[in-house]
Chain A
Amino acid sequence: MQDLGISVLFQGKNFIRLLGGLWITVRISLISVIISILLGIVLGMIMTMKNPVISAITKIYLEFVRIMPQLVLLFLVYFGVTKAFGIHLSGELSAIIVFSIWGTAEMGDLVRGALVSIPKHQYESGKAIGLTNIQIFRYIIIPQTVRRLLPLAINLVTRMIKTTSLIALIGVVEVVKVGQQIIDASRLSVPSAALWIYGVIFFLYFIVCYPISLLATKLEKVWKD
C-alpha cells in the first residue's frame, strides 16, 4: 500500500525546498503588510476628513478593492497591466502591488474605524487641560487607537498570508508551486505524494497563521476596556 507516501518529504531536499517556498510566501506577505500598514494609516486619516470629494474617492476605492476577489486583482495587474502598458511585471512584484493595494484599503478602513470610535470628549478634555494638538495625539489619541487597531491589524496579517497562496496561480514559485513540482517529480516513485504534500502545506500554513491569530485574540482580550 501507499502508507510510506510521507517518505517523499524526506527525499533529497524536498522538505527544505518546501520551507524555502514558504519563506517566499511569508516574505511577500510581510512586505505587503508593512506597505499596507504605512499607507493604510495615511488613508485612514484622510478618510476621517469631511471633504465630500475625498470621501467619495476613498469610498469608491475601498468598495472596489473589497468587492473584487483578490485573484481578479492579481489577474488585472499581472495580465492586464502587462497588456495595456507593455510593462512586464514579475509575478512577485505584481503580488506585492496587489496585496498592498488591497491591504491599504482594509487597513485604511480599520484605522478610520478606530479613529472614529474615539469619543470627541477625549480631544476636548485634552484641550481643556492645555495640551497642544501634537500632545493630544501623542498621549491621548494614538495610544487608544493602537489598542483598538492592533488586534485587527494582526488579523489582517494572517489574512494576507493566507491570500498569498493565490500567487501560485500567476506562476510565482512559492510553497504551493514547489509542492506541485515535488508531486510531479515523484509521480511515478511515490504515487500518493499529492495527498502528503498538500497535507503538509496545509499544516505549514496552519503553523504560520495560528500563532499570529492567537496573538490577536489574546491582545483583544487583554486590551478590552
Chain B
Amino acid sequence: MDLDFIQKYTPMYIEAGVITLRIAFIGILGSIIIGLLCSLIRYYKIPIIQRLVGIYIELSRNTPLLIQLFFLYFGLPKVGIVLSSEACAIVGLIFLGGSYMSEAFRSGLEAVHNSQIEMGLSLGLTRYQVIRYVLLPQAISVSIPAFAANVIFLIKETSVFSAVALADLMFVAKDLIGLYYKTNEALLMLVIAYLIILLPISILFSLLERKLRYAGFGN
C-alpha cells in the first residue's frame, strides 16, 4: 500500500464522489416524479396513456442501463440529438429509475383498500383531497421498503456512467489504474468511497423501515 499515493489522490475521489452524488440525486428526484406520475396513471387506468406507460415500464425494466446509455450517447447523435455525458447520465437514470419507482409506488397504491377511497368520497372530499389525505399517506408508508431498495439500486447503477465518459468514481479509479498501475490503492479507495456513500443510506433506510408504522386499516 502506498499511503502517499492515497493521500495525493483522495481529493480526486472526493470530487468524483460529489459528481456521482449530484447525478444520483437529480436522477432519483426525476425518477420519483416520473414514477409517481406513471403509477397514478396506471392506478387510475387513464385510457391510452396507461398503455404507453405500460410499454415504457416494460421496456425500461427489461433492458440494462448500459445499453440505454450507449443508445443515448452514441446512437442519438447520429440523428442529430447530441447530449453531454452528464445529460445522458441523468436522462438514462431517470428513464431507468422512473419505471422502478412507478412499480414501487403502484404496489403501495394497490395496498390501499378501495373502501378507503369510497369513504373519503362519501365524506365529501374532492378527488384531489382523497389522493392527498387518504391515498398517498398510506400508499407511501407501504412502498417505503421498495422505494429504499430502488434508491440504493439507482445510486449503485451510477457506476456505469464511466462508460459514457463521465468523470465519476469508477472513471477516476480506472484512470489511476491505467496511469500509475496502482491497482490495489485505486480499488481500495473506490471501495471505501462507495461504502462511505452507500452504507449510511442503507443503515438509515433500515432504521426508517423499522420505525415505520404501517397504516394497517381493518387488518
Contacts and interface: CB of A to CB of B under 8 A. Distances in A.
Given A70-B156, A165-B67, A63 B202 contact: yes
Interface stretch (B26-34, B75-83, B126-134): B75-83
B83 to A, nearest CB: 13
B187 A194 contact: no
A38 B190 CA distance: 30
Given A80-B183, A80-B184, A194-B74, A205 B64 contact: yes
A206 interface: yes
Contacts, number: 119
A83 interface: yes
B191 interface: yes
B78 A68 contact: no
Interface stretch (A13-21, A42-50, A71-79): A71-79
A87 B119 CA distance: 67
Interface stretch (A90-98, A146-154, A196-204): A196-204
B59 interface: yes
B157 interface: yes
A202 B71 contact: yes
A213 B31 CA distance: 21
B76 A195 contact: yes
By secondary structure, the A interface counts as helix
Contact of B170 (A71, A191, A193, A201): A71
Interface in B22-73: 58-59, 61-64, 66-68, 70-71
Interface in A8-61: none
Given A75-B187, A84-B184, A195-B78, A163 B170 contact: no
A201 B67 contact: yes
A54 to B, nearest CB: 20
Interface of A: 2, 5, 63, 66-72, 75-76, 79-80, 82-84, 158, 162-166, 168-169, 176, 183, 191-199, 201-202, 205-206, 209-210, 213
27 contacts: A63-B202, A67-B198, A70-B159, A71-B160, A71-B162, A71-B170, A72-B191, A75-B173, A80-B183, A84-B183, A162-B62, A163-B64, A165-B64, A168-B66, A176-B66, A194-B70, A194-B74, A194-B77, A194-B78, A195-B75, A195-B78, A196-B75, A198-B74, A201-B70, A205-B62, A210-B58, A213-B62
Given A67-B152, A72-B191, A205-B67, 11 more contacts: A2-B79, A63-B199, A69-B158, A72-B194, A158-B62, A162-B62, A163-B64, A169-B163, A194-B74, A197-B75, A213-B58
